[in-house]
A and B are shown apart, each in its own frame.
Chain A
Amino acid sequence: MGRKILLVGTALALTPLPAMAQGNNEITIVLNEEVDLMEPCMATRSNIGRVVMQNINETLTELDVQGDEGLMPRLAESWEDMGEGTWRFHLRQGVTFSDGSTFDAEDVKYSFERAFSDQITCESPRYFADTDLSFEVVDEHTIDITAAPVQPILPLLMTLVTIVPSDTPVEFVREPIGTGPYVLSEWNVGQNIILERRDDYWGEAPEVTKATYVVRGEAAVRAAMVETGEADIAPTISDVDADNPETDFAYPNSETLYLRLDHSMEPLNDVRVRRALNMAIDREAFIGTLMPEGTEIAVAMVPPTTLGWNDEIEPIAFDPEGASALLEEARADGVKVDTQIQLVGRTNNYPNVTEVMEALGAMLTDVGFNIDLQMYEVAEFENLYSKPFPENRPPQMLAALHDNSRGDPVFSMYFKYHTDGTQSGFSDPHVDELIAEATAAAGEEREALWSELFAYLYEEKVADVMLFHMVGLARVAEHIDWRPTIATNSQLQLSEISFK
């Protein structure tokens, strides 16, 4: 009986060999998160985007986040501002979808309608929250998109909506059809996803002919897979495993860690107390210890590659005596500085999160704060992070990560600092005004307004406790010519990979 079961088991196990790494121009990429959907309209979600974005489905425009090319053409060859909120996009000709149909202006119109439909919960609409879009197909390869109110960064927003053929059903699909250089050839759920290069791609043919994606939850295993040659690229490994300078690279992953302060509560409503919180933390001490080398000290909510980045802001220096003195000054004015403040962290948010939270708590306690450290799992944490905030809550500081690799602060500032922002613990009429002005402005004016807002928030209001711009660590096999960048968190373009 036992032998029979064993035989059956072995027979079941005898499935065909997987594509091994380092084959001729075939690569294997080992990811850390399960890919649960392959839906093009969800491609702005990082676990889906790393497979789908620009590999299978393309967008009208594309942002060069690491270089200084700015906004680049992709499916749109050029665009122009026609005034009164209308932008005209001239589409690339001779582009076909992987199902053989031809790409035209109707597909663009349909892709937006589908993503915005109320029959399906896509990610894209959130980037157009208060903007109404209307479309006018001028001819087969020209489309006018009108935004109300006027949207000066409409071409940038086009980087967030993937184009699908106009006969795609309005429900989540599992076999995405796109114009990209690759097509989904196999999806063995739980085992691997295989993309193959298309012969009829409109652009230059990429070097990689076939890419196999596998998922491993354990960082040590991902690192070991590249080391043994089972995989070629592991976009996220842990600091502990990154011990080989030939293959392991740190890259800014566009996430910023900060403590969100609740300004509606004493003592956090006092600017001296907020400044003291900032001065009490020895940020340098974290880097190279609990945080990987390469982590940068943050002075704003967005990474330094974002429009309007303000070089002139000096980080608040570590000064425990100064922090204690500020607290005493506030106490003398009757501020209840001894009130217990809850410091809330999220379990599994990033490597060493528990140790980081404990160190932060200890540093704040050292200068005289009364800290109560709490760790919550993701669902409970989100309840505290987004409005409506719970009634009868104690004064809270939430350690949250915010990701913005989109190139413009508009994707962050409203949510985090506007009076009506979902995660804003803050309300200031001048800030609301600056956000509104910057959102409606274009060019240098926009840049200057964002700069002004960053300085005002950090230097005058001391709105939050800004901590770090985080880094990710990737392991890349030696024969692969590819380096992770700030874009790697949200997309991994196979066409950028070549062989040495």
Chain B
Amino acid sequence: MIRLIRQRTIASFISLIGLIVLVFFLSRLTGDPTDLFLPIDATQEMRDQFRRLHGFDRPLIEQFGAYVWDLLHLDFGDSIRRAQPAIWVVLNAFVWTLQLALITMTLVTVCAIVVGSLAAFRAGGFFDRAASLVSLIGASAPDFWIAIVAIVLFSVQLAWLPTSGTGTVLHWILPIAVLFIRPFGLLVQVVRGSMLSALSSAYVKTARAKGVKNFPLIFVHTLRNAMLPVITVMGDQAAALLNGAVVIESIFGFPGVGKLMIDSILQRDFNVVLASIMVTAIAIFIMNLLIDMAYAVLDPRIRY
């Protein structure tokens, strides 16, 4: 296990370096932020002064060298727009994204496993058909539409929940509910498929013949063996959430990292773009490592 962690860390570190180089040069190819930051009728002096203050007048390779040097001292540079350290801006937003992703993925996993397993147990039955229909609709409906409809219905018409914002627990219900739908729909299908093949294997028949009851049969014996593909898909979905749920963040006014990243790209706030890419990349690396470890725990045949 220690070897796995060491190997993965080295590999991830190398890809992170590649990512930084790529993003640094590609983002600067798209133009410099001077014209976006300054008013359209700014004088040439103001433009020159802005470039000088932020180092955009220096050769690209020199800018890169300075950036890497600062990075080695854990200095991610300042956000041009916000006049604050970029890493601080990003971590502030990332805390929100992390909470949203954790809560949503926990709910998705629990619900999808229960619903998917039950659907697989009586394949073709009423519950299975109903679950399939709902999950397919969930996996295919556009989330911006669901979000707006949910606000109109639950906040404006019924006045049960606040429209948006972050103040109380009530504020979290709508965004989490909307975020929940798509990965839930997808995961139910995966759990169901994986359970179906596990349920038809020889050890399940033996267990049945021994008289093991339905509940322990599904949730104790079969589920553990059916979990590997489920974890893989779950990891994919969680990675998407960690990148930030841009649509949900914009509609519900959630200060997450997804919207921050898009805004920074549009404003060419390079330090924030780089910092947010590094933070999310590291988060996704840690998550992938946890998933690999989960494989080994669930299936003792897997050895690293």
**Chain A interface residues (CB < 8 Å from chain B):** 2, 5-6, 8-10, 12-18, 34, 36-37, 39, 45, 118-121, 123, 125-126, 129, 171-172, 174, 189-191, 214-218, 220-221, 224-225, 227-228, 230, 377-380, 382-383, 385-386, 411, 415, 422-423
Residue numbers in A under 8 Å from B252 (CB-CB): 221
The answer to whether A121 and B167 have CB atoms under 8 Å apart is: no
Contact check: which of A15, A379, A382 meets B40 at CB < 8 Å? A382
Of A120, A121, A383, the most chain B CB neighbours within 10 A belong to: A121
Q: Which of B69-77, B98-106, B237-245, B276-284 contacts A (4 or more CB under 8 A)?
A: B98-106
The answer to whether B156 and A224 have CB atoms under 8 Å apart is: yes
Contact check: which of A18, A216, A411 meets B167 at CB < 8 Å? A18
Main secondary structure on B side of the interface with A? helix
The answer to whether B42 and A36 have CB atoms under 8 Å apart is: no
Tell me if B110 counts as interface (CB < 8 A to partner A): yes
The answer to whether A118 and B49 have CB atoms under 8 Å apart is: yes
The answer to whether B40 and A386 have CB atoms under 8 Å apart is: yes
The answer to whether B103 and A228 have CB atoms under 8 Å apart is: no
A-B contact pairs, 16 of them (CB 8 A): A6-B106, A6-B107, A9-B106, A10-B103, A121-B46, A121-B49, A121-B53, A126-B43, A190-B92, A217-B259, A218-B148, A220-B152, A221-B163, A225-B163, A380-B31, A383-B35
Q: Which of B79-87, B187-195, B222-230 contacts A (4 or more CB under 8 A)?
A: B79-87
Once the chains are docked, how many angstroms separate the CA of A183 from the CA of B31? 38
Once the chains are docked, how many angstroms separate the CA of A210 from the CA of B221? 60
The answer to whether A221 and B43 have CB atoms under 8 Å apart is: no
Known: A12-B99, A218-B250, A228-B155. A191 touches B255 (CB 8 A): yes
Tell me if B200 counts as interface (CB < 8 A to partner A): no
Contact check: which of B35, B83, B169 meets A386 at CB < 8 Å? B35
Residue numbers in B under 8 Å from A17 (CB-CB): 167-168
Known: A36-B82, A224-B151, A386-B40. A119 touches B53 (CB 8 A): yes
Residue numbers in A under 8 Å from B169 (CB-CB): 10, 13-14
Once the chains are docked, how many angstroms separate the CA of A294 from the CA of B110? 53
Residue numbers in A under 8 Å from B92 (CB-CB): 189-190
The answer to whether A230 and B165 have CB atoms under 8 Å apart is: yes
Residue numbers in B under 8 Å from A39 (CB-CB): 83
Tell me if B196 counts as interface (CB < 8 A to partner A): no
Known: A5-B102, A9-B106, A37-B82. A18 touches B165 (CB 8 A): yes
The answer to whether B37 and A382 have CB atoms under 8 Å apart is: no
The answer to whether B103 and A215 have CB atoms under 8 Å apart is: no
Contact check: which of A36, A120, A190 meets B81 at CB < 8 Å? A36
Residue numbers in A under 8 Å from B30 (CB-CB): 379
Residue numbers in A under 8 Å from B40 (CB-CB): 382, 385-386, 415, 422-423
Tell me if B164 counts as interface (CB < 8 A to partner A): yes
- Chain B residues 257-287 with CB under 8 Å of chain A are 259, 263, 266, 268
The answer to whether B36 and A377 have CB atoms under 8 Å apart is: no
Q: Please name the residue on chain B nearest to A1 by beta carbon.
A: B106
Of B31, B163, B164, the most chain A CB neighbours within 10 A belong to: B163
Once the chains are docked, how many angstroms separate the CA of A353 from the CA of B268? 23
Q: Smallest distance from the beta carbon of A189 to chain B beta carbons, Å? A: 6
Q: Smallest distance from the beta carbon of B40 to chain A beta carbons, Å? A: 6
Contact check: which of A2, A224, A382 meets B163 at CB < 8 Å? A224
The answer to whether B164 and A216 have CB atoms under 8 Å apart is: yes
B34-54 Cβ-contact flags toward A at 8 Å (1 or 0): 011111111100100110010
Q: Please name the residue on chain A nearest to B38 by beta carbon.
A: A121
Q: Smallest distance from the beta carbon of A144 to chain B beta carbons, Å? A: 25
Once the chains are docked, how many angstroms separate the CA of A161 from the CA of B88? 30
Contact check: which of A2, A13, A37, A119 meets B172 at CB < 8 Å? A13
Tell me if B214 counts as interface (CB < 8 A to partner A): no
Residue numbers in B under 8 Å from A214 (CB-CB): 165, 253
Of B50, B96, B168, B268, the most chain A CB neighbours within 10 A belong to: B168
Tell me if B235 counts as interface (CB < 8 A to partner A): no
Q: Which 6 A-B pairs have the closest CB atoms?
A: A190-B255, A18-B167, A172-B83, A9-B103, A217-B250, A415-B41
The answer to whether A13 and B99 have CB atoms under 8 Å apart is: yes
Known: A171-B83, A217-B253, A218-B250. A2 touches B166 (CB 8 A): no
Q: Smallest distance from the beta carbon of A130 to chain B beta carbons, Å? A: 8
Known: A6-B107, A126-B39, A220-B148. A189 touches B83 (CB 8 A): no
Known: A190-B92, A216-B253, A224-B163. A15 touches B41 (CB 8 A): no
Residue numbers in B under 8 Å from A34 (CB-CB): 263
The answer to whether A45 and B165 have CB atoms under 8 Å apart is: no
Q: Smallest distance from the beta carbon of B5 to chain A beta carbons, Å? A: 20
Contact check: which of A15, A37, A224, A230 meets B168 at CB < 8 Å? A15
Once the chains are docked, how many angstroms separate the CA of A9 from the CA of B49? 46
Once the chains are docked, how many angstroms separate the CA of A214 from the CA of B135? 35
User: Besides the contacts A37-B81, A221-B148, what 13 more A-B pairs have beta carbons closer than 8 Å?
Assistant: A9-B102, A9-B103, A13-B168, A13-B172, A37-B82, A123-B38, A129-B43, A218-B251, A221-B163, A224-B155, A379-B36, A385-B40, A386-B40
Tell me if B109 counts as interface (CB < 8 A to partner A): yes
Q: Smallest distance from the beta carbon of B188 to chain A beta carbons, Å? A: 17
Q: Smallest distance from the beta carbon of A352 to chain B beta carbons, Å? A: 18
Tell me if B21 counts as interface (CB < 8 A to partner A): no
Residue numbers in B under 8 Å from A378 (CB-CB): 36, 266
B133-176 Cβ-contact flags toward A at 8 Å (1 or 0): 00000000000000010011001100100111111110110000
The answer to whether B83 and A379 have CB atoms under 8 Å apart is: no
Residue numbers in A under 8 Å from B84 (CB-CB): 174
Once the chains are docked, how many angstroms separate the CA of A382 from the CA of B50? 17
Residue numbers in B under 8 Å from A119 (CB-CB): 53
Tell me if B120 counts as interface (CB < 8 A to partner A): no
Q: Smallest distance from the beta carbon of A380 to chain B beta carbons, Å? A: 8
The answer to whether B164 and A225 have CB atoms under 8 Å apart is: yes
Residue numbers in B under 8 Å from A189 (CB-CB): 89, 92, 255
Q: Smallest distance from the beta carbon of A462 to chain B beta carbons, Å? A: 23
